Amino acid sequence: MAEAEDDLEQGGSPGPRPFWSGTITFGLVSIPVALYPASRPRRAGMRMVTNEGVPLQRKYVSSETERELEWDDIVRGYEIEKGKFVVVTDEELEAVEPRKSRDIDLRLFVDAGELDPRYFDRGYFLTPAGGSNKAYRLLAAVMEKTGKAGLATFIMRTKEYVIAILAENGILRAETLRFADEVRKPEDVGLPKKKKAPAAEVKKLEKAIKAKTKKVDFSEFLDDSIAQLEAVARKKQKQKKAIVHHEEEAGADEGGEVIDLLEVLSRSLGSAGQRRPAKRAPRKNGGGLSKLSKEELYERAKKKDVPGRSGMTKEELIEALEG
């Protein structure tokens, strides 16, 4: 999340931050927006451990020599045939990356009903940024009134995405779209040929469906398996049947921030155009660079255009970034 890291380095205000920000553009219209995930993963805190409860670590081993590899020994490879790889350098990967841009290029509008839900991949909320509240509200209102959706492209990290922009209740949201070759057709799953159903069975099923029809409330559909699993773990702990291993607590920089969507929307819509706080002084010791992986350090070196970065060790990358 390079964009979120940029905000942290610039010393933004405390609270939820978008992980991408840019501008919706079409014709002479430009509307600065911020992007937030519309969903959040909810997973059980499971991890592979030993019989004594000690967490295991993943290590890379050569499939031929079974030698354990250091990070500096690992490069990327493209599989051209089954089991045959061509090594690809960081410079070659950079050369095929799309040109960086902060624009959401809104290419055309379509009827929202034309969009096939099978193409929807991941949902996001778009909020106004940089004093764009009025233009943002106008675009959302017109799109909602006309039942239109926008199709656009934008660059996030190092990949280009196709998205659908939709308006609901005065808010714009975006759905990243799968490409055509990623979506299966009904005939791909071996469905039997369509047959005409008997009229009596149709009437009976219609009656059953009508009896179950009511206004949707998604709060009724909750996954309580995680809560049940936690209850089992707590019960075992109280009964002293659990094997507990205390890990060293992660530093503050390693934690994830929980985003309260209502707070995000209220802040964005209510305070669009407010000035950013002054920049903070940089932290000592390189801002905790030693805690980052070599890949994360490389991404920072790439942004700062550090020469010779692809051949540097982790320590050399830290030294170059601190310098």
Question: How does pLDDT run across 75-122, given as a tens digit for each residue?
Answer: 889 998 888 899 988 888 888 888 878 889 999 999 999 999 999 999
CA distance 20 to 157: 9
Domain ranges of the chain: 2-42+97-184+258-270, 281-323
Indicate whether 321 pLDDT > 60.
yes
pLDDT the model gives residue 2 = 37
Indicate whether 309 pLDDT > 80.
no
pLDDT the model gives residue 203 = 92
How would residue 222 be classed by pLDDT, with cut points 50, 70 and 90? Answer: confident
CA dihedral (85, 89, 95, 99) positive or negative: positive
What are the structure tokens assigned to 40, written together?
A: 């959040």
Residue 106: strand, helix, or coil: strand
Strand partners of residue 127: 34
Averaged pLDDT for residues 185-205 = 87
How would residue 193 be classed by pLDDT, with cut points 50, 70 and 90? Answer: confident
pLDDT the model gives residue 175 = 94
pLDDT the model gives residue 301 = 80
Amino acid in the structure at residue 244:
V
- The structure's pTM equals 0.61
Contact 132, 91 (CB under 8 A): no
Indicate whether 273 pLDDT > 70.
no
**H helices within the chain, ranges in order?**
2-10, 90-96, 133-146, 199-212, 225-238, 261-270, 294-303, 314-322
% residues pLDDT > 90 (the chain):
26
Contact 173, 123 (CB under 8 A): yes
Highest mean pLDDT among 190-199, 222-231, 238-247: 190-199
Contact 19, 35 (CB under 8 A): yes
| CATH level 2 (architecture), domain 2-42+97-184+258-270 | Beta Barrel (2.40)
Q: Tell which wins on pLDDT, 210 or 267.
A: 210
Dihedral of the alpha carbons of 263, 265, 270, 271, in degrees to the nearest 10: 80
What are the structure tokens assigned to 206, written together?
A: 């219609």
What are the structure tokens assigned to 74, written together?
A: 């690992």
What are the structure tokens assigned to 277, written together?
A: 């706080």
Where does residue 294 rank: exposed (0-12), middle (13-18), buried (19+ CB within 10 A)?
middle
Mean pLDDT for the chain overall: 78
Among 153, 127, 154, CA closest to 139: 127
**Could you report the per-residue pLDDT of 150-187, keeping only the tens digit for each?**
999 988 888 889 999 999 999 999 999 999 889 988 88
Averaged pLDDT for residues 227-255 = 64
